[in-house]
Each structure stands twice: as structure tokens, then as C-alpha cells.
Amino acid sequence: MITENNLSKTIILTFIIIMSSMVAAISYFYVTNTYDDFEFEMQKFESEYYEDKKKTLKKEINTIIDILNYNIAKSNLSDEDLKLDAIRLLNNITFEENKSNYFFVYEIKDMKGGDDFAKLIVNPNRLDLVGKYISTNYEDSNGKKFREDFLRDIRVHGESFTKYSYTKPDSNEVKQKLSYFKYYDKWNWIISVGVYTDDIEKEIAIKSKEFKQRVKNQVVQNVVLFVMFLSIAILISIAISQKIDTVLKDYQQKVSSYAKRLEDMNHSLEEKVKKEIEKNREKEQLLVQKSKFIALGEMISNIAHQWRQPLSELSSILMYIKFKYSINALDSKIMEQKTQEADKVLDYMSQTIDDFRNFFMPKKEKEEFALYRVVDTVVSIISSTLKNYNINLQINIDESITLQTYLNEYQQVLLNIMNNAKDVLMEKSIENPTIKITAYENSDYVALYIEDNGGGIKVEPKGKIFEPYFTTKEDSNGTGIGLYMSKIIIDKNMKGKLKVINTKEGAKFGIFIPKGSQNKEINYEFV
């Protein structure tokens, strides 16, 4: 049951529950996203590792061919003697100090294939087959006619990468093998070299273990940071709750005879709360600057703006209940009415948390969306701040303009730029502060323009504002990371362009996103 003695504690407890839920949700999304990135990186590493092995095989063969060509050009020996020297060389070399990585050579008799398409003249692993004719109809343990496959590639391209099953020398077990075959037309040879994929998979497994441990350490570190942040928020909330309780008790004792003094005291309390909020905000800014969770800091700042009015309403409800109680006029009807009003305010605050959580929920797939709806979503997040500082917002976007890209990342870029514009207008105390948002599209790209009347960018070259940790904000109130990350998102992730120019009144940012899968060079121009 809510009473005058526990009302403030109830409100603070509700706040703690909401904040705990928010931090838990953000932690979950972060951990999930981190492990998704790990899987992607491992797939990328495996693909690149196989490509590197292919390059190595090709390099080894090309080196051998260069040696053969050099010997032919410089030696006075006959072709037969040169071939014998080459066979001795290839029988006695491996690469990467692995006896399983040996060279083998076919002397082609019939490039079309068949039962006697070639003679095996080099194979340190199968001396029993050296000098014998071999067939393209031979099948490995999986039923694959791999000789037929690589011979077909050689007829067309002169080379081939082929996978097949073959006996591994060091274990005498049949393993998957990746080999590179290249045609040497001077002697009608096919020179080959291969690696067994189980060796590759062992190296990939070692790298995977290293990556997994690194990801685990990062996740643990960042979860600890989330918990620390929540703990600090709870401690601050408890401290504020205790102060509120003290003030309320003092108010109850003196309300009848010291109305004027109560008013002064209430004013003093508001000033103290404002100072505490400012101190906490500075601490949050410092934490944001030193941590990797700048987006989280921005979210909390905007929530604070969104909650300013509801908190004021809760304070008024509380004051009304206290007053009624002090004059013995607090009946069940009034208590029920005011409780319902408080519940509505708390529901609004809870919905605000849900909106921000959805805004920052990671999505890795491109999606199609209406541009004006995205702008409307971002505007709703900072609407309270704009209203508080009388910043005029002008939006002119055709509802038919659509984009297909990463929605949440695009929203974050808009939020960064609009927050920067808002900060400039506030910092410079611009008369009639205005932010204009317009859009333009042609056959190649969609452009979104964000323009302010804050006097423009005074640094040269203007591209410096996109460098990491560069800020023009007074007293280093900015992290210098927002625009840098926005540049990375647009230019690298979305293959677009983020540009800025000065107008007569202020700065104008242009966000250019290509349509479809554009491979040609696009000339992005302000219009």
C-alpha cells in the first residue's frame, strides 16, 4: 500500500526496476551482437586462410617453373638431361617443412583424357605408380573423378585448383587434399603440389580458440562495466530518495505555520537537485568519453530530457498528496485518483524506455524504409530537447523517397548530426535557432541534408571534424567520436558519402546513400 511515508521510495524503486531492465536488455543485445560478430570474423578468417593457401600453392609452382625456364635458357644440356635434373629436384623438395606437401608431375599423352591420358613421372608418396600410365576415370574414396576435373580446367585455363581424397604420407589415412595443377607446355607436363585440409583445419581451430577467448574477455569486461553503471545509478537513486524523505518530513512538520519558509526551502531543494543532476551528468559525460558505449550515453541523455516533464508531474502529484494529508483531507477517492495519475506518468516513462531500446537494437540486414518515417523517429527522440531550447525544426521530405540500407546505423548517424547541430545552437545562443532537414534523389543516390544557422564550421580543412577525438565544443564537452563513427558508417559500411559545407547561415551536412548495388563511381553533389 502506498502511503505518505513510502511514496518517494516507491517512485525510486520503480525507477531502479526500469533502469535495471534497460541495462539487462542492452547487455543481452551487446553479448548477442558480439558473438554474431565472432562467427562472421571466423568465417571471414577461414575463407581468407584458404585463399592464402591457394596463393602459396600457386607461388610454389610458379617458382619451380621459373627455375626450369632458367635452366633451359642457361644450360647446354639436352632436353632429356634437363628433364632428369628437374625430376630429381622435384622428388627431393617439399614446402613449409612438411613431408605431406610434396610435388608430383604428369607427362601428358592425351589432353582429352582417357585411360592412358598421362604418365606419372614424379610422386614421392607413390613410387609404385611412377612411370605408369594413369586414367582420368580413376575415382577417389568419395567417387570423384578428380583427374577428369583438373584436366578439363587445364584445357580451358591452363591451371586448376581441385579438392579430392588421397592417402596422407604421415598417417597413411585417406584425407581431403587441395592441389594446384599447372600446365608446362615446354615439356607437355602438368606440375602439381597440394596440402591436406586437416592441417589447415588444425591451424584454423587454433585461431578460433584464440578469437573465442578474446571475445569472452571482451564480453566479461563490458558486462562488468554495465553492472558498475547500474550500481552507480542505484546508489545515486538511494541517496536522492533519502534526501527526499528528509525534506518531506521537515515539510510535514512546518507546513501549517511556515508556508513561506517551505516555499523557500522547496526552491532551495530544487536548486540542490539541479546541481546534483549537473554533477551526475558531468560524471556520465566523463564515463562516455572513456568508454566504448557512446551510443548508450546519448540514449540516457535523451531519456533524461524525455523524463523531465513526467518527473515534474510526479513531483506535483506528491506535493498535492502531502498537502491534503497535512490538512487531514486525504481520503481514499483522492488517493486513488492521484495514484492513477502517477501510474499513467510511469507508463509513459516505461514506454520511453521501450522506444529507445528498439532504436538501438542491432540489426545487420539491410532493409527498405521510407526516409521521412526514419527522420520522424529520430526527431521524436530529441523533440523534448529541441522544445526546451526553442529550436525551430523545418522538415521537407517527399513521402515517396525510400532507402535500402542498415536502418539503425542510419538513424544513429542522423541522431549524431542533429545532436551536434542542437549543441552548436545552444552553445552560441543563436537568435531564432533553426534546423532544416530536406531530401533529394536521382537515379544514382538519395541525399539527406541537415542544415543549421549556427554560424558554420570555423576549422580548415572542414574534413578535420571527421577525425577521431577532434571536437570544436567548448571545455571539451564533446567526445570527438560521433562524427568520426558517422563517417565510418556512411562511407565504409553503406558505401556512400558523408560531406559538409558552410552556407551563409551555418553548416550543412549531406548524407548520400547509393541506390541498389552501385559499382560505378558516383559524383555526389550538394543541390
Write out the H or E segment, with its range, that includes residue 464: none
Question: 328 or 308: which carries more pLDDT confidence?
Answer: 328
Question: 56 or 264: which carries more pLDDT confidence?
Answer: 56
Alpha-carbon gap, residue 469 to 476, rounded angstroms:
10
Q: Residue 165 pairs with which residues in a beta bridge?
A: 176
Same domain, 338 and 405: no
Q: What is the pLDDT of residues 380-419, one digit of tens each?
A: 877 777 888 899 999 999 999 999 988 888 988 998 899 8
Same domain, 430 and 484: yes
Instruction: Report yes or no on 141 lying in a domain.
Output: yes
Same domain, 262 and 343: yes
Residue-range definition of the domain harbouring residue 286: 255-362
User: What does the pLDDT read at residue 76?
Assistant: 87
Before 468, cis peptide (omega within 30)?
no
Instruction: Report yes or no on 173 lying in a domain.
Output: yes
Where among 202, 218, 240 does a domain terminate? 202
Alpha-carbon gap, residue 140 to 174, rounded angstroms:
9
Which set of grid coordinates corresponds to residue 464? Answer: 578535420
Same domain, 299 and 177: no
Q: What is the pLDDT of residues 316-352, one digit of tens each?
A: 778 878 888 888 888 888 888 888 877 866 776 676 6
User: What does the pLDDT read at residue 393?
Assistant: 93
Q: What is the 3-state secondary structure (H, E, C) of 255-291?
A: CCCCHHHHHHHHHHHHHHHHHHHHHHHHHHHHHHHHC
User: What does the pLDDT read at residue 377?
Assistant: 84
The model's confidence at residue 507, banded by pLDDT at 50, 70 and 90, is: very high
Same domain, 333 and 406: no
User: What does the pLDDT read at residue 384?
Assistant: 73
Q: What is the pLDDT of residues 349-383, one digit of tens each?
A: 676 666 555 555 556 678 899 999 999 988 887 77
**Mean pLDDT score, 479-486:** 74
Alpha-carbon gap, residue 213 to 132, rounded angstroms:
51
User: What does the pLDDT read at residue 87?
Assistant: 92
Same domain, 83 and 194: yes
Based on its alpha-carbon atoms, the radius of gyration of the chain, rounded to whole angstroms, reads 36
Same domain, 358 and 372: no
Percentage of the residues of the chain whose pLDDT score is greater than 70: 76
- Other C-beta atoms closer than 10 Å to the C-beta of 379 total 17
**Mean pLDDT score, 76-81:** 88
**Mean pLDDT score, 301-322:** 69
Output DSSP code: residue 366: -
Q: Could you give the number of structural domains in the chain?
A: 3
Q: What is the pLDDT of residues 11-46, one digit of tens each?
A: 677 767 876 777 677 766 666 766 667 677 778 877
Q: Residue 95 pairs with which residues in a beta bridge?
A: 98
User: What does the pLDDT read at residue 434?
Assistant: 95
**Mean pLDDT score, 248-257:** 62
User: What does the pLDDT read at residue 379?
Assistant: 87
How many helices and strands (H and E) does the chain possess? 10, 14
Same domain, 57 and 141: yes
Alpha-carbon gap, residue 207 to 190, rounded angstroms:
34
Same domain, 347 and 423: no
Where among 202, 219, 247 does a domain terminate? 202
| Angle subtended by helix axes 294-326 and 7-74, to nearest 10 | 180
Inter-residue contact 348 to 364 (CB < 8 Å):
no
In CATH, what number is assigned to the domain containing residue 196?
3.30.450.20
Same domain, 371 and 341: no
Output DSSP code: residue 477: -
Which of 255-269, 352-366, 496-510 is modeled with the greatest confidence? Answer: 496-510
**Mean pLDDT score, 268-290:** 59
User: What does the pLDDT read at residue 286?
Assistant: 44
Residue 81 class from Cβ within 10 Å (0-12 exposed, 13-18 middle, 19+ buried)? exposed
Which set of grid coordinates corresponds to residue 91? Answer: 622428388
User: What does the pLDDT read at residue 521?
Assistant: 81
Does residue 461 sit in helix, strand or coil? coil
Pick the closest to residue 514 from 378, 366, 396, 372 (CA basis): 366
The model's confidence at residue 285, banded by pLDDT at 50, 70 and 90, is: very low
Alpha-carbon gap, residue 375 to 427, rounded angstroms:
24
Inter-residue contact 101 to 111 (CB < 8 Å):
no
Write out the H or E segment, with its range, that includes residue 465: none
Pick the closest to residue 44 from 56, 54, 52 (CA basis): 52
Instruction: Report yes or no on 519 lying in a domain.
Output: no
Output DSSP code: residue 520: S
Inter-residue contact 400 to 367 (CB < 8 Å):
no
Instruction: Report yes or no on 144 lying in a domain.
Output: yes
| Low-confidence winner among 97-101, 431-435, 486-490 (lowest mean pLDDT) | 97-101
121, 123, 128, 134 alpha-carbon torsion, rounded to 10°: -60
Same domain, 268 and 348: yes
Q: What is the pLDDT of residues 146-201, one digit of tens each?
A: 999 999 999 999 999 999 988 887 777 888 889 999 999 999 999 999 888 887 77
Instruction: Report yes or no on 3 lying in a domain.
Output: no
User: What does the pLDDT read at residue 499?
Assistant: 93
In CATH, what number is assigned to the domain containing residue 405?
3.30.565.10
Alpha-carbon gap, residue 169 to 167, rounded angstroms:
6
Where among 362, 389, 411 does a domain terminate? 362
The model's confidence at residue 7, banded by pLDDT at 50, 70 and 90, is: low
Instruction: Report yes or no on 421 lying in a domain.
Output: yes
User: What does the pLDDT read at residue 312?
Assistant: 67
User: What does the pLDDT read at residue 289?
Assistant: 42
| Low-confidence winner among 52-56, 154-158, 195-199, 229-233 (lowest mean pLDDT) | 229-233
Output DSSP code: residue 188: T
Residues in the chain: 527
User: What does the pLDDT read at residue 354?
Assistant: 60
Pick the closest to residue 154 from 197, 110, 124 (CA basis): 110
The model's confidence at residue 104, banded by pLDDT at 50, 70 and 90, is: very high
Instruction: Report yes or no on 241 lying in a domain.
Output: no
Q: What is the pTM of this model?
A: 0.39
Ramachandran angles phi, psi of 461, nearest 5°: -70, 155
Instruction: Report yes or no on 97 lying in a domain.
Output: yes
Write out the H or E segment, with its range, that includes residue 361: none
Same domain, 59 and 172: yes
Per-chain mean pLDDT for the chain: 80
